Structure 1
């Protein structure tokens, strides 16, 4: 077990470099594909329409326990077997698992794809591109709604797809990162407040909230540090963040989103449609100007800065901690 807790810090550094340069390894098997198939299989095995709400909730707890344990043990077993063969095989596999747990370049590309479609006056294409990033329905969105949704998802996923995996990766290695990724993927698949998942997805949603508590708040502050670079008063951005950070339905998503709104000087939230049902999302931020396509680019830049600052901080702190503790 010790070797898993002593994953070389350089493996995370290489993983970040690979993510920034290459993004997701599309030509290789990606662990998220396996996690998604596992969750789908478990859902089919556990979920029954006839179950009572309390039984669905208990089965949802089983989903989280079985799913997260299975993935974590799989990563552990793969690394343990690799370690027995060769340290370098173990090292390369560690880098691979850490690399595939990060989504910085992919998030950047998808966000910029939405921006590119908008500046080319291809609203239909922008909606299509946005649909790859969000679970809400995009078919009838206005340009302003597309911009706001893109800013929201890029800022929120700066936490979910980058800082949180980094956080758990530097603390607990690939096993910790993929335990988090499994819970986060479950939340994205079953963590909805509709008739099917209200009870069954309750545990996945709550567990994801707990795991994202620290990363979401760190993300918000890393985003806020971009204010002076984007020509915005840091003091004003912080004021907006402090005012709106708890207005979101999610205990975590409102933090990076309101931080982004504070830096951009726009108001996020408003009407959205999820699975055919309209939902009003409370306003985050103050409308000092109308949302513009360039706000998506600014949010991507804020994401990149948060990524680099957090990676440097997490890796340095972990390296120093291990040096002090001799682990």
Structure 2
């Protein structure tokens, strides 16, 4: 086994671990990171982009250094390297947990329990859920499943392929910081700017990978997904969310986008897709698509790692 083969095997095993087990209920390493980040924020916070950049650099850099230490400790010990890569991959992926949360909201809607669905939806989205209708809750779930398939599955897999364990841990740090301080508010408008922009940059390749995986996972609707992606993605405020949400909209035959409320701020997004608004039954359809997109992406990423090794060997001859 080569180092590249070890990395590819670790990524696949970690993906399988996430699908089988999801996130642990207690003691998740990401929760430990979040606690450390919150404490550091107390000491470093200032209404300043420069201070926010320092904060982001310390935490993302520290995560990358930890990953680099793990890579070096397992260098030349390919079985241990596979295990370390698999453990890091399982730690940073969140596809199974995303599916569980989406289906939990679906269960409340299926029982016509709007208060329960609105509350459970807060686990998935940052928008105000207090007065959402069943249709609006459903749209929010499908959009969250689509966007987070990039954030929690395809983007970390991409960085794992490119940079191994350091890439996996650094990406999860970036994604976690964006969720903590990157959203728009008076407190974080400047301090969270660096985290938000870095998250956009880090997810650029993962979003495109997710879009391509949608086409591969649903070949019968690939033409529709591609057409909606090309036409509607740029209307989304996120350079990455628009790609994945538009591809999902085309593949599922629904229309996403519209008006969202975030506290006192109202955001009116352009619509994506040509079908009707998603129905409650479209939630499990979206999670099923997300599962297949993750599997396709994991196979594509692992194959690319092995192909890279083959190209290098050919070039050396």
- Give me the TM-score of the superposition, normalised by structure 2: 0.90
- Report the equivalent of 2:16: 17
322 and 116 in structure 1: CA distance in 2 versus 1, 3 angstrom threshold: same
Could you tell me whether the CA contact under 8 Å between 1:183 and 1:208 is conserved in 2?
Answer: yes
Q: 1 CA distance for matches of 2:112 and 2:251? A: 26
Residue 211, structure 1, aligned to residue 202, structure 2: yes
- Report the equivalent of 1:172: 163
Residue 139, structure 1, aligned to residue 130, structure 2: yes
**Pick from 223, 236, 246: which aligns with 2:234?**
246
**Pick from 256, 269, 272: which aligns with 2:257?**
269
- Report the equivalent of 1:281: 268
Residue 97, structure 1, aligned to residue 88, structure 2: yes
Q: 2 CA distance for matches of 1:4 and 1:202? A: 37
Q: 2 CA distance for matches of 1:226 and 1:8? A: 24
Q: 1 CA distance for matches of 2:50 and 2:283? A: 41
178 and 281 in structure 1: CA distance in 2 versus 1, 3 angstrom threshold: farther
Q: 2 CA distance for matches of 1:228 and 1:263? A: 9
Aligned length: 313
Which residues of structure 1 form unaligned runs of 5+?
none
Could you tell me whether the CA contact under 8 Å between 2:7 and 2:161 is conserved in 1?
Answer: no
Q: 1 CA distance for matches of 2:250 and 2:39? A: 41
Residue 159, structure 1, aligned to residue 159, structure 2: no
Which residues of structure 2 form unaligned runs of 5+?
none
RMSD: 2.4
Q: 1 CA distance for matches of 2:217 and 2:304? A: 22
Residue 112, structure 1, aligned to residue 76, structure 2: no
Could you tell me whether the CA contact under 8 Å between 1:7 and 1:173 is conserved in 2?
Answer: no
The DSSP-based 3-state class of the residue aligned with 1:25 is coil
71 and 5 in structure 1: CA distance in 2 versus 1, 3 angstrom threshold: farther
Q: Report which of the two has the higher share of helix.
A: 2
**Pick from 209, 212, 227: which aligns with 1:221?**
212
**Pick from 41, 44, 51: which aligns with 2:39?**
41
Could you tell me whether the CA contact under 8 Å between 1:183 and 1:204 is conserved in 2?
Answer: yes
Could you tell me whether the CA contact under 8 Å between 1:245 and 1:258 is conserved in 2?
Answer: yes
Residue 255, structure 1, aligned to residue 247, structure 2: no
Could you tell me whether the CA contact under 8 Å between 1:254 and 1:284 is conserved in 2?
Answer: no
Using the TM superposition, give the Cα deviation of residue 289 of structure 1 relative to its aligned residue in structure 2, in angstroms.
2.0
- Give me the TM-score of the superposition, normalised by structure 1: 0.88
Using the TM superposition, give the Cα deviation of residue 228 of structure 1 relative to its aligned residue in structure 2, in angstroms.
5.0
Q: 2 CA distance for matches of 1:314 and 1:89? A: 21
Using the TM superposition, give the Cα deviation of residue 192 of structure 1 relative to its aligned residue in structure 2, in angstroms.
1.8
Cα distance per residue 1:197-238 (max 9 Å; x no partner): 111111111111111111112212322445555xxx433332
308 and 5 in structure 1: CA distance in 2 versus 1, 3 angstrom threshold: closer
225 and 87 in structure 1: CA distance in 2 versus 1, 3 angstrom threshold: closer
